């Protein structure tokens, strides 16, 4: 890993702007399962089309929320790990312009990332599709616990939907356009913990390459861009990013340390 880490550190130092694109793999060290790992992924025991599709939400909100209530429990109390903190530190050092994430867990915001695009939304709030009223996670939890049928409801009586992109829904246009613009402007996009198979986000590295930028990849499994990446690092994302910080002469933060609150987080 040593030469590749040094190579990535050199690219980060030389390129500007630099953008990070993160997927589920960056949150696995925080105790959050990814989606597709055999036997352990989130979809290993359930059909996502039955529990995480917009039609499933509309057809059977009770079944939908029986799954998402468990999802809330899975995310409860989870903290940013050293990989999240490393990206926030790179941003504070002026070496990283923004983080684009496919994750809904909110850990980048907790870690202190300021320029954050959550292209799949965030579990931090839920929305009423009838009146567009939004409720923070704590309020949604309370309404979920107090409803006899296990469905958190808006004051107007309509079931709330987590403010995340479900199967069958389009990504938020503003977030996607901003992510595309960042990818097109980037001299380097670092793809971390993502299989780069879920579109349209998987098109972002292609946009960077098409305009003369470079792609670096840090993830365990294979991706369609491995052969075109300037740097490809496998293994643990925490070890890789902490090693990159060290190569840049930056001391990493420990996960137990409080992270600076985000000044802005855009979904």
120 is an active site residue:
yes
Distance between CA atoms of residues 24 and 173, nearest Å: 22
What tokens appear for 120 in the block?
Answer: 């799949």
Beta bridge partners of residue 28, listed in sequence order: none
Query: Diameter of the chain by CA atoms?
Result: 59
CA 10 to chain centre: 25
H-type helices in the chain, by residue range?
2-14, 48-51, 54-59, 61-75, 82-92, 107-111, 137-146, 173-185, 204-210, 237-247
Q: Among all chains, which residue has been given the structure tokens 């420990």?
A: 254
Catalytic residues: 120
């Amino acid at each position: 890993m040593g030469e590749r880490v040094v190579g990535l550190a050199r690219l980060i130092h030389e390129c500007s702007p630099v953008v990070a694109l993160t997927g589920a793999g960056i949150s696995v060290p925080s105790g959050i399962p990814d989606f597709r790992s055999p036997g352990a992924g989130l979809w290993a025991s359930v059909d996502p089309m039955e529990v995480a599709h917009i039609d499933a939400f509309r057809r059977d909100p009770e079944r939908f929320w029986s799954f998402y209530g468990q999802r809330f429990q899975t995310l409860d109390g989870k903290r940013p790990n050293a990989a999240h903190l490393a990206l926030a530190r790179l941003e504070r050092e002026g070496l990283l312009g923004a983080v684009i994430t496919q994750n809904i867990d909110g850990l980048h915001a907790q870690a202190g990332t300021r320029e954050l695009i959550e292209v799949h939304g965030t579990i931090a709030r839920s929305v009423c599709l009838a009146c567009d009223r939004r409720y923070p996670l704590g309020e949604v939890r309370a309404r979920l616990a107090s409803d006899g049928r296990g469905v958190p409801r808006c004051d107007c009586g309509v079931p709330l939907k987590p403010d995340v992109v479900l199967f069958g829904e389009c990504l938020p246009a503003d977030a996607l356009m901003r992510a595309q613009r960042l990818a097109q402007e980037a001299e380097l996009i670092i793809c971390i913990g993502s299989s780069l198979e879920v579109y349209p986000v998987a098109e972002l590295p292609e946009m960077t390459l098409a305009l003369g930028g470079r792609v670096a990849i840090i993830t365990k499994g294979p991706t369609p861009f491995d052969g075109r990446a300037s740097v490809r690092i496998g293994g643990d994302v925490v070890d890789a990013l902490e090693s990159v910080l060290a190569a840049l002469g930056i001391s990493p933060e420990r996960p137990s340390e409080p992270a600076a609150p985000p000044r802005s987080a855009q979904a």
